[in-house]
Structure 1
Amino acid sequence: MKDMVQFGNRIRRLRQQHNFSLRELGERSGVSYSFINSIENNRFSPSRETVIALADALSAVDKDELLLLAGFAPTESDALESQTGVEALEVDDPEVSLFFKDFKNAPKERRDEMLRFWNFIKDQQQTRKPDSQQ
């Protein structure tokens, strides 16, 4: 089950952080500004391709996070494209694949908990020095 309220709110915050109007984000992503407005106001659910287009337009955004919020698991190629100085996510790893499968099938409360954990790990990786051990 998707959490479109959280996804819509996240897109709005990211758009505002980048100082993009709806029209500007629409031009950058190839998604109509009215559809982006509908996503932000939780009237429509985006397709996987729309989520990826929005993530690409908001270049500093973690594509995997947006895909997870929208109820999609990242593919290996998406994970490889979205590396940000850390090792790429290996989705052919059975444990990682199981995480995404569990996430997709989990109830909302469990998904929220898993997403908080995912973000905690990302934050820890960003503050970790390259020569330090994990």
Structure 2
Amino acid sequence: MKDMVQFGLQIRQLRKMNHFTLRELGERSGVSYSFINSIENNRFNPSRETVIALADALNSADKDELLLLAGFAPTDEESLDAPSGPGVSDIDDPEVSLFFKDFQSAPKERRDEMLRFWHFIKEQQINRTPDSEQ
């Protein structure tokens, strides 16, 4: 669940626990110190990549917890080790490609819901007769 106020407080707390100034955290993470300040003060929402960069720079930070607070799905190490096959970039239809990108970045609950819907559509297709309307 997205909780940007809590996310900003958590980043500030972790930064102070590590005895980092905004500039030091900026140098370690590659994120500008002014943007980190804006995140801590809830003026801007970070991208997934920014959350990961901050988590990597902050010792004792739980990357998955920070991702969840920022409204992103946690990291999935198993999917990184999955056998390679056709990817989203191999799809020619832009709408389908966007759907799969949304699916990949969605939280687990949303992916489960999308899969249930997909299975429903497949089941309807199987039971459809040639003369029935779509």
Q: Same fold (TM over 0.5)?
A: yes
Cα displacement (A) at 1:60: 1.8
Matched, 1:23 2:30: no
The unaligned stretches of length 5 or more in structure 2 are: 81-106, 112-134
Aligned residue pairs, count: 85
TM-score by structure 1 length?
Answer: 0.58
Higher alpha-carbon Rg? 2
Partner Cα distance (2:33, 2:78) in 1? 24
Q: Give the unaligned 5+ runs of structure 1.
A: 81-99, 105-134
- Residue identity over aligned pairs, in percent, reads 76
Partners of 1:79 and 1:32 in 2: CA distance: 30
Amino acid at match of 1:49: E
Q: TM-score under structure 2 normalisation?
A: 0.58
Other-structure match for 1:75: 75
Give the SS at the match of 1:65: helix
Pick one of 108, 115, 121 that aligns with 1:101.
108
Change (3 A) 1:50 1:10: same
1:79 and 1:60, CA in 2 relative to 1: closer, same or farther beyond 3 A? farther
Residues of 1 paired with 2:68 and 2:42: CA distance? 16
